[in-house]
Structure 1
């Protein structure tokens, strides 16, 4: 007798921040595995385009407006998704953006918004969706963390604080959910090429990169792709029941060294 009944082959997945980047890539990855996906983001038009593409490729997808900084919006998204594709078996909390500034120079309202979206937004999803998952005695609740939680970077204080809180929250959830059949996991990306923070002007980015180099955070220029993080999420939720990938950190592989060919011939 197996210790756990296997997950069903069809697992509805609710994805926040699904209009681009990691969320959109994860929607593709999970749809390719045969799971229906509910796509939520403020840019709902982009989610609808993505849903249409997934359906054209033979998958099942549903798009709905979602602002994770609003409890009412989270409620509306979850209720609509349940009606469209069924109760959540997989939840990915990945909505958010980056805002760069020195801690003492950032307006407190800008700082608060980062925490509200990344951290409180994750709690809003947990509050709405975890009770049903616990009742069904199975499910995966995955949060997108950041290696900033392990190694904070200068000029990213709001994001650092929010992501540190998100990872602590997921760790607490893991303890609280033990024995319920629901797995809480963190996928922790390193530097990733997404739309987050890419609209910042050079006068913001240039000193940020200089500070990163000063403190040893810019070892090489390679970035991860959103699809790399999506592959990690897919691995976490596809792990058979009875095992739990608690934390998966993904870092970009460095470029190959240009060694002296003469050394190879010695």
Structure 2
């Protein structure tokens, strides 16, 4: 017999960075499971539109502005979300953007902004919701990382450093929260087609991709979809209590080679 009570039937979830990309796809996927979801991002109009769609499809959703770099914004968001859908059972920290550039040439304020969003923003969100989770002795905190954390790519120094810090924080949180009933998990995406980095200029992208190839980071051109990462988040938070998926890394599958090429490769 399990020593853990099952997840409650109602598991309200809050999702940062929910206006697009992985955050938006995760909010939709959780709502399709019957989870009430609170969508937060700076682009509140997009969050509100997505919340309307979720409700139109029969789900329960709430939208509120959220800037994870502002402590007051996090307080207002979590308070409003819990008033609207109930105490937080699931947190998905997916707010983020990427600044491309070499570390030694990047302005320190731009570097700091990456740390503010990806690391401090995740910490602020966890810090705000954890007291309630600790009282209830259950909850899932899911941090969206990147495969740039263990293997930085050229021209992603600030982003990679922030994500590496996020993974170190997650490891510490797992140790600190062991035995509390709260699970801290990482979902680590590989290359994913989102809006991140779309403000980069061709002048910066060209040299970056050339360096990626030199260092072996461009094996193929396939990209993950945001829904692929949402499926990973769903797997993490849907795992029955008593088991803990601490890290799920998702990579895009390479294009399937023609059968003749594959056979020739096998012969060699």
Please, what TM-score do these two structures have when normalized by structure 1? 0.97
- After TM superposition, the structure 1 = structure 2 runs for residues 119-158 of structure 1, keeping only pairs within 5 Å, are 119-158=119-158
Q: Structure 1: state its 5+ residue gaps.
A: none
Query: 1:261 Cα shift?
Result: 7.1
Question: What's 1:217 paired with?
Answer: 217
Query: 1:10 Cα shift?
Result: 1.5
Question: What's 2:46 paired with?
Answer: 46
Cα distance in 2 for partners of 1:173, 1:34 equals 28
Question: What's 2:22 paired with?
Answer: 22
Change in Cα spacing, 1:263 to 1:106, as seen in structure 2 (3 Å) is: closer
Question: What's 1:102 paired with?
Answer: 102
Cα distance in 2 for partners of 1:255, 1:34 equals 34
SS at match of 1:148: coil
Please, what TM-score do these two structures have when normalized by structure 2? 0.97
Question: What's 1:3 paired with?
Answer: 3
Cα distance in 2 for partners of 1:11, 1:259 equals 47
Query: 1:262 Cα shift?
Result: 10
Question: What's 1:226 paired with?
Answer: 226
8 Å CA contact 1:144–1:186 kept in 2: the answer is yes
Question: What's 1:73 paired with?
Answer: 73
Question: What's 1:92 paired with?
Answer: 92
Change in Cα spacing, 1:214 to 1:124, as seen in structure 2 (3 Å) is: same
Q: Structure 2: state its 5+ residue gaps.
A: none
SS at match of 2:88: coil
What's the C-alpha RMSD, in Å, of the aligned pairs? 1.3
Change in Cα spacing, 1:183 to 1:257, as seen in structure 2 (3 Å) is: same
Query: 1:127 Cα shift?
Result: 1.0
Cα distance in 1 for partners of 2:149, 2:2 equals 36
Moved over 6 A (4+): none
8 Å CA contact 1:133–1:182 kept in 2: the answer is yes
How many residues are paired up?
265
8 Å CA contact 1:9–1:34 kept in 2: the answer is no
Question: What's 2:187 paired with?
Answer: 187
Residue 249 (str. 1) matches residue 249 (str. 2): yes
Cα distance in 1 for partners of 2:60, 2:262 equals 55
